[in-house]
């Protein structure tokens, strides 16, 4: 009987092991992987939609590219790379007083024998200059922190957590629309959108960077400046040639 019990225990152990192997995907072998990026990303096709989607717009130069990190899963596509960007000019938004750089996160990178690239997108390299359209990097909180989360709390964004680079101790930003919000500035100080950007955005290619930045600031001024609804009260006599109706009479 004892022998039979041991046999049964071995059979059950093997069965459970096989079942476990079926329930968990195999660990991918190291190598090169190419992904299409986040398909849920809304890719703006015009300059005004890029502006509306951005919390921060900067003229910046890549100062340091940090080692790639994995987001806690075995999926190679979870690799991302953080970079420190030195801010030459803030075009829109604000930075804390005295802060002269921001940290950005981009999909892809190299780690532990895995090399991950994303279609239509290349990681920044140290020394490169860009006009970057950015927004804070937020990810879904761990399941244990989502207990009791209601729909109004989700609408308010309380189910998400702002991501911070632990090495830099700085909040992370991501590029709006992936490739759309990353505008290269070459040594001649002309701008160029990445190849996958829309035809409308590519119409700005070749502009001097100062002229391009002025275009952005003019658009921001027109988009967010509201003209006064009422004219200020008239002080003193009306100018020559302007005839106002007597008080109490309706104006036509």
Give all domains of the chain, ordered by start, each with its CATH number: 32-224 (2.40.50.120)
Strand order in the sheet with 32-35: 32-35, 114-118, 109-111
For the purposes of burial, counting CB atoms within 10 Å of the CB of 225, is it exposed (0-12), middle (13-18) or buried (19 or more)?
exposed
Q: What is the pLDDT of residues 179-231, one digit of tens each?
A: 899 999 999 999 999 998 999 999 999 999 999 999 999 999 998 875 555 44
- pLDDT at position 169 is 80
Rounded to whole angstroms, how far apart are CA atoms 26 and 74? 9
Element (H or E) spanning 211, and its range? Answer: helix 209-224
Closest by Cα among 217, 167, 218 to 59: 217
Rounded to whole angstroms, how far apart are CA atoms 163 and 61? 22
Pairwise pLDDT comparison (201 vs 14), residue with the higher score:
201
- pLDDT at position 127 is 96
Question: Stretch 75-101: mean pLDDT, rounded?
Answer: 90
What secondary structure letter does DSSP report for 79? E
**pLDDT band at 36; cut points 50, 70, 90:** low
What's the pTM?
Answer: 0.70
Arithmetic mean of pLDDT over the chain: 76
């Amino acid at each position: 009987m004892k022998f039979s019990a041991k046999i049964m225990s071995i059979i059950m152990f093997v069965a459970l092991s096989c079942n476990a192997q079926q329930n968990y995907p195999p660990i991918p072998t190291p190598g090169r992987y190419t992904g299409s990026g986040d398909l849920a990303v809304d890719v703006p096709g015009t300059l005004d939609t890029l502006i509306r989607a951005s919390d921060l717009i900067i003229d910046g130069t890549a100062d340091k590219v940090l080692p790639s990190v994995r987001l806690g899963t075995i999926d190679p596509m979870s690799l991302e790379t953080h970079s420190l960007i030195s801010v030459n000019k803030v075009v829109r938004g604000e930075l804390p007083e005295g802060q002269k750089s921001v940290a950005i996160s981009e999909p892809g990178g190299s780690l532990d024998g895995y090399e991950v690239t994303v279609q239509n997108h290349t990681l920044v390299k140290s020394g490169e200059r860009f006009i970057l359209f950015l927004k804070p990097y937020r990810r879904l909180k761990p399941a244990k922190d989502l207990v009791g989360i209601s729909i109004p709390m989700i609408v308010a964004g309380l189910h998400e957590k702002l991501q911070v680079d632990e090495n830099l101790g700085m909040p992370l930003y991501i590029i709006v629309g992936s490739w759309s919000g990353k505008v290269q500035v070459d040594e001649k100080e002309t701008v160029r959108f990445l190849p996958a950007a829309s035809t409308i955005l590519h119409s700005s290619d070749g502009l001097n960077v100062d002229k391009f930045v002025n275009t952005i600031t003019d658009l921001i001024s027109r988009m967010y400046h509201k003209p006064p609804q009422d004219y200020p009260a008239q002080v003193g006599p009306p100018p020559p040639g302007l005839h106002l109706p007597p008080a109490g009479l309706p104006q036509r």
